[in-house]
């Protein structure tokens, strides 16, 4: 019930406007969000890189309402690519299609995403297409499979959400095309006809899909903070002789930093998604929905670090 409430609240514009201007809420959100600007995000990437962890930069925002917002998002993505190249940072970038105008003018959206991906290809920077709510799943996969992946190959990847009932079939098709997949649990509120409602079902789906991905021989991202799932993935890889270099664990900025460092110390590749930007409220609320216990963890963390600093 709490998860559904948090996801519902993530969509409330008035609460969004209030929280974004509230100092204490912003302080709490800073646990998960690397500041408002590209410079603050890059500083976070540098800090991760010093520990051997790579990163993915993610400019927050989705479902834009105007072409002006979509154009600004395209320019933002191009700025990220330029910064990664200038810093020579071991980082890549994620994009959300609705942030780039996926639901607006089709021709302008196509031109914008081509600008981004062409530039990324020139600079040799990998781009991950994020997956949003189930209303966009088929359209996103159609675009990726029929247009983007054939054009950009290993320079682009896609996200699959383990809680969707359709994901097993989607994974099989993507593996046949040798696409690079980031597997996550899923953070949107979906009906039980579309997504598994129970945690144990989602976990079982995740482990099964992760095993299929690892067995494919392609380089995939196993995105989870669940220690039990991580243990099962590690055990499967060891059993099948799959070397740590053949995949990577992926986590979110500010979540289970101890686990991130522990996996890296064990020799596993670890990548952290580093989100930034002013549109952090929906992202922050979905992170809370994924792990409601964080509601109690963040205030204690902030108090320990010193609210006044």
Which two structure tokens, joined as six digits, stand for 278? 């002013």
Report the alpha-carbon distance of residue 215 to residue 263 in Å, rounded: 20
Contact criterion met (CB below 8 Å) for 164 and 186: yes
Q: Strand locations in 64-148, DSSP E? A: 91-95, 127-129
Instruction: Mark whether 182 is an active-site residue.
Output: yes
Nearest to 226 by CA among 241, 204, 211: 204
Known catalytic residue at 154: no
Rounded distance between C-alpha atoms, residue 79 and residue 120, angstroms: 11
Cβ-contact 240, 200 below 8 angstroms: no
Question: Which one is catalytic: 58, 130, 170, 226?
Answer: 130
Contact 280, 33 (CB under 8 A): yes
Catalytic residue among 182, 271, 286, 287: 182
* Residue numbers annotated as active site: 130, 182
């Amino acid at each position: 019930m709490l998860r559904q409430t948090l996801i519902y609240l993530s969509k409330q514009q008035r609460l969004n406007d209030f929280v974004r201007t509230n100092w204490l809420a912003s302080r709490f959100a800073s646990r998960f969000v690397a500041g408002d600007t590209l410079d603050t995000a890059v500083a976070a990437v540098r800090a991760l890189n010093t520990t051997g962890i790579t990163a993915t930069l993610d400019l927050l925002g989705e479902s834009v309402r105007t072409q002006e917002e979509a154009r600004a998002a395209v320019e933002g993505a191009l700025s990220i690519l330029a910064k990664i190249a200038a810093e020579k940072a071991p980082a890549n970038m994620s994009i959300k299609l609705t942030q780039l105008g996926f639901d607006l003018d089709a021709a302008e959206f196509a031109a914008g995403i081509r600008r981004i991906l062409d530039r990324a290809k020139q600079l040799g920077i990998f781009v991950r297409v994020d997956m949003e709510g189930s209303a966009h799943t088929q359209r996103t996969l159609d675009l990726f499979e029929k247009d983007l992946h054939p054009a950009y190959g290993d320079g682009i990847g896609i996200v699959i959400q383990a809680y969707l009932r359709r994901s097993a079939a989607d994974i099989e098709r993507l593996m046949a095309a040798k696409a690079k997949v980031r597997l996550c649990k899923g953070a949107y509120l979906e009906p039980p006809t579309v997504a598994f409602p129970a945690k144990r079902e989602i976990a079982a789906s995740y482990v099964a899909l992760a095993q299929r991905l690892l067995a494919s021989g392609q380089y995939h991202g196993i995105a989870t903070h669940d220690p039990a799932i991580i243990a099962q993935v590690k055990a499967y890889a060891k059993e099948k002789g799959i070397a740590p270099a053949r995949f990577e664990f992926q986590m979110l900025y500010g979540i289970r930093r101890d686990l991130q460092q522990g996996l890296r110390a064990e020799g596993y590749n670890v990548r952290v998604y580093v989100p930034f930007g002013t549109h952090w409220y929906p992202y922050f609320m979905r992170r809370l929905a994924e792990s409601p216990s964080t509601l109690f963890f963040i205030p204690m963390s902030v108090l320990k670090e010193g609210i006044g600093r």
